[in-house]
């Protein structure tokens, strides 16, 4: 089973990299770009075939390693 985890900063947490990307895009002439938030995507292949067990394992992975849950939020997508 394939999974994708999206990790982004929580609302209200300063995102200097997103701000730098937004500033650079504006400098390149993309004036319609407003606020930019940057994150990461993690693709995983799991041997688990049970959807419930896979989601539980992925949640555990995110809580323990993939996301800093103090400042980041995550979303899990199974394929």
Q: 32-43: per-residue pLDDT in tens?
A: 999 999 999 999
Residues in contact with 36: Cβ distance below 8 Å, sequence separation at least 6, in sequence order: 15, 18, 19, 21, 22, 25
Architecture of domain 2-78: 2-Layer Sandwich (3.30)
> Averaged over 49-72, what is the pLDDT?
97
Q: Enumerate the domain spans of the chain.
A: 2-78
Task: Enumerate the H helices of the chain as residue ranges.
Answer: 16-27, 51-61
Q: How confident is the model at residue 17 (pLDDT cuts 50, 70, 90)?
A: very high
Share above pLDDT 70 across residues of the chain, in percent, rounded to a whole number: 100
Q: How many CB atoms lie within 10 A of CB 4?
A: 14
Mean pLDDT of 16-34: 96
């Amino acid at each position: 089973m394939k999974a994708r985890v999206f990790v982004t900063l929580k609302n209200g947490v300063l995102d200097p990299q997103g701000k730098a990307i937004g500033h650079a895009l504006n400098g390149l002439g993309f004036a319609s770009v407003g606020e930019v938030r940057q994150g990461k995507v993690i693709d995983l292949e799991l041997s688990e075939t049970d959807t419930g067990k896979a989601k539980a394992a992925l949640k555990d992975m995110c809580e323990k390693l993939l996301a800093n849950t103090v400042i980041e939020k995550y979303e899990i997508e199974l394929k």
